[in-house]
Amino acid sequence: MQASLGASPAQSIAREVGDVTALTREMAAGDEAAYRAFYELYFERLSRYLLVVARGDEEAAREALQGALVRVVRHIKVFTDEAAFWSWLTVLARSAFSDQSRRRRRYLSFLQRFTLRAPEPAAPEESGTEERLLELLGSALADLPSEERDLLQRKYFARQSVADIAASLQTSEKAVESRLVRLRRKLKAALLERLKNERATE
């Protein structure tokens, strides 16, 4: 199909929605115009799909969409059938949403296990919404030195064993456990301080 006079490469490809082979071939070759065409053709469609998957949670749908688009760039291949291409996109979208949900559950588990056990007034019903607690936890983690943050993430989010962590750090399991105990206390104190400050400004 010959492009119309004055049409951009992305628009020309976008008009050829039936020719998914051309679109995906150019995407696989790293053509920026093809990716712009893909965005024009599928962004809103994937957004609506993920909004259904997320049961109306717009924030979760947006975050999953970003993850899905990253997966498209990483794993794009040539498709000869639009239905097959869409099916592949929905698999990537559901995978991104599932990964996001797992990360969220791990953060909530981390909050419950290592911060909300404290006798200080840190229960969700007293300190704001669950979303705000997650934001505060993320902020507290971000403020840790990189090596401390990495250790916590490896143990509690990546679910690596203490033995594996100790081997990679060339130290003993006892040393790793001791560091984790200190870091849990440090993170709990940081989160509680943030909660205390928020309540003081209300």
Per-residue pLDDT, 136: 74
User: Over the stretch 62-106, which tens digit does the pLDDT of each residue have?
Assistant: 888 998 999 999 999 999 888 899 999 999 998 888 887 776 666
Residue that has been written with the tokens 């997650």 in this structure:
134
- What does the pLDDT read at residue 1? 39
* Range in 31-45, 64-78, 122-136 the model is least confident about: 122-136
Q: Within the chain, which residue ranges are assigned CATH 1.10.1740? A: 9-100
Q: Which CATH number fits domain 115-201: 1.10.10.10, 1.10.10.1150, 3.30.70.2190, 3.10.20.30?
A: 1.10.10.10
CATH number of 9-100: 1.10.1740
Q: Which of 23-32, 90-99, 187-196 bottoms out in mean pLDDT, i.e. has the lowest?
A: 187-196
191 in Cβ contact with 137 (< 8 Å):
yes
User: Of 8-22, 118-132, 133-147, where does the model show the most confidence?
Assistant: 133-147
- pTM value? 0.50
How sure is the predictor about 17, in pLDDT bands with cuts at 50, 70 and 90?
very low
Please state which of the ranges 59-68, 132-141, 162-171, 178-187 shows the lowest mean pLDDT.
Answer: 132-141
**Residue the block writes with tokens 């929605």:** 17
pLDDT at 28: 93
- Burial class, 83, CB count within 10 angstroms (exposed 0-12 / middle 13-18 / buried 19+): exposed
Flag whether pLDDT at 60 surpasses 70. Answer: yes
Q: Residue 25 — very low, low, confident or very high, per pLDDT cuts 50/70/90?
A: very high
Question: What is the Cα–Cα distance from 123 to 128, expressed in whole angstroms?
Answer: 8
**Residue with the two structure tokens 């949900």:** 101
For residue 14, pLDDT over 60 is answered with: no
pLDDT over 70 (residue 48): yes
pLDDT band at 199 (very low <50, low <70, confident <90, very high): low
pLDDT (mean) for 127-135: 59
